[in-house]
Structure 1
Amino acid sequence: MAGTGERRASIYPTLLYADARAVITQLTEAFGFTELARYDSEDGTVMHAELAQGNGAVMLGSKGRGGAFDAAMKNAGTTGVYVVVDDVDAHHAHAVAKGAEILLPPTDQDYGGRDYMALDLEGNIWSFGTYAPEVPA
């Protein structure tokens, strides 16, 4: 990537799901993520998947697949992930049309951003908004 003008994100939320296949469908169809990579086992378990939104990405897989990360996440709570989008209202309307459960409709925040909050199929909270913290180069 050096010299291409692209910069890799340095933080990747990583989540495990009982039905990772269904969540991948929801994240791509309702929330506009792009599936970058997906590695399934022979029985259809999602071992690892990468989905992009803007210049960030999330990694996910199936619960119960074994390994140290799966064991560490066994009793973890739900996760909240914030994703920057250009047009909150259009993004929200699309998610609603695809049946997403909305927890908070598009709202102007005191800090200057506009966002909404939704729930994925397994209880994780996804916020989509215009606020993007400045990160030093």
Structure 2
Amino acid sequence: MDIPEHYRYSVIPHIMIDGAAEAIKFYTEAFGASELFRLDGDDGRIVHAEISVQGSTLMLGDAEGPFGPPGEAGTSVLLHVYVPDVDALTARAAAAGAELLSAPADMPYGARQSMLRDPSGHVWIFLTPIAA
């Protein structure tokens, strides 16, 4: 069996959230995500969902059992996404409710970058390549 194209050559982040349905709505509004798949549990919680953000697949679900959302001390996971216009996406995400951690800025490694925290507590780094 072939590995599906959108899973090939990548490490697929799978994040657990309190309120996965609300997170999907936020990611759609803030980051232009599209929902690929959703498996709802009998209790209405999302057991497993997949969304596409800028062509990359992100798996998520409602936190339960041994899996939990980011703690108050922060998170050990950063989600990096290259986008065509980091300034526009940052403005869109902030308007949708993301917390701006660092405004778009040109970095010495050849990218314009911003950092945002989503309402679930996950930290996203968005980058647009620029001339170094």
Above 0.5 in TM-score? yes
For the 8 Å contact 1:9–1:56, the answer to whether it is kept is no
For the 8 Å contact 2:37–2:49, the answer to whether it is kept is yes
The alignment's TM-score, normalised by the length of structure 2, stands at: 0.81
Is it true that 1:45 corresponds to 2:45 in the alignment? Answer: yes
CA separation of 1:75/1:108 partners in 2, compared to 1, >3 Å: closer, same or farther?
closer
Gapped regions of structure 2 (runs ≥ 5) = none
More strand by share: 2
Give SS of 2:43's match. Answer: coil
Give SS of 2:79's match. Answer: strand
State how far apart, in whole Å, the 2-side matches of 1:125 and 1:93 are: 16
State how far apart, in whole Å, the 1-side matches of 2:113 and 2:33 are: 17
- Partner in structure 1 of residue 79 of structure 2: 81
Equivalent runs, 1:46-125 vs 2, <5 Å? 46-64=46-64, 66=65, 71=66, 73-74=67-68, 78=75, 79-125=77-123
- Partner in structure 1 of residue 13 of structure 2: 13
Give SS of 2:26's match. Answer: helix
1:42 Cα deviation after fit: 2.2
Gapped regions of structure 1 (runs ≥ 5) = 132-137
Q: Deviations over 1:28-81 (max 9, x none)?
A: 1111111111111122110111111223111000111x4xxxx2x348762210
1:99 Cα deviation after fit: 2.5
State how far apart, in whole Å, the 1-side matches of 2:79 and 2:107 are: 17
RMSD value, Cα? 2.0
Give SS of 1:42's match. Answer: coil
The alignment's TM-score, normalised by the length of structure 1, stands at: 0.79
Counting aligned pairs with the same residue, the percent is 41
User: What code does the residue aligned with 1:55 have?
Assistant: G
State how far apart, in whole Å, the 2-side matches of 1:51 and 1:28 are: 9
The alignment of Structure 1 onto Structure 2 pairs a total of residues equal to 121
